[in-house]
Amino acid sequence: MAAISEAFRDGGFWMYIILVTSVIALGVTLERFFFLFFKFNMNAQAFMAQIQKLVMADNVDRAIKLCNAASSRALPHVIKAGLTRANKGEVEIQNAMEEATLEIVPKIQKRTNSLQTIANVATLMGLLGTIMGLIEAFEALESATPENRQRMLSRGIAMAMNTTAFGLIVAIPTMIAHLVLSGVTKKILDEIDMYSVKLENLLVTRGKGGPVE
């Protein structure tokens, strides 16, 4: 712990900026993790199997209630919009689900991409601290008195190395978090796209009185 405190102190002003980015990155990661894994995500395949079964049984009201039971999830929000227009035409069903998709997609994607920016800022702040530390070290070689030269040189090199290390320590986990959360985001969006089309086809076939598969 003392070594970490000393390294942080040796890094100087830039360490505090990187620390702020780490706090922001952690906050965004935790917030997105909660929403993506525990609020928007679900077992889409099992959910849609139930919806399809109810629609095939001409029990749309039960299907809507099933959506209401999982109203915080992303997919039921879109599916419910289509089900409420089940007795309308193809265009109305499609428009309803597209509108619901446009409402939910920004909430799913919100702030996830900012993690990549935060990681880049942490890296750049570490690089800037490195440059400033090297400048200080070179100034020590050029202008410092012999008795102060070693101390100033060590301080400059310590700043350079510590800011680089701390910047990378923040940036690497943040990039990994961005990768994981982006994957979950894509999964949720892909499920919305796929199952909204499947429901639309199901409802249109039902409306025309054709066989429902």
Range of the domain at 25: 2-205
Whole-structure pTM value = 0.84
Res 14: pLDDT? 83
Letter string b/e over residues 96-113, b meaning 16 or more CB atoms within 10 A of that residue's CB: bbeebbeebbeebbeebe
Say if CB 93 and CB 200 are below 8 A apart: yes
User: Dihedral of CA 72/74/77/83: which sign?
Assistant: negative
pLDDT at residue 106 greater than cutoff 90: yes
Of residues 116, 94, 127, the one with CA closest to residue 193: 94
Residue 145 φ then ψ, to 5° = -70, 155
- Three-class SS state of 208: coil
**Residue 211 covered by a domain:** no
**Residue 210 covered by a domain:** no
C-alpha span between 186 and 197 (Å, rounded): 17
Sequence-separated (6 or more) residues with CB below 8 Å from residue 197: none
Say if CB 60 and CB 207 are below 8 A apart: no
- DSSP letter for 192, please: H
C-alpha span between 188 and 195 (Å, rounded): 11
Q: What does the mean pLDDT of the chain come to? A: 87
**Residue 145 covered by a domain:** yes
The predicted model gives 88-116 an average pLDDT of 92
**Residue 212 covered by a domain:** no
Residue 211: pLDDT band (50, 70, 90) is very low
The number of domains in the chain is 1
pLDDT at residue 8 greater than cutoff 60: yes
The predicted model gives 73-81 an average pLDDT of 94
C-alpha span between 38 and 181 (Å, rounded): 12
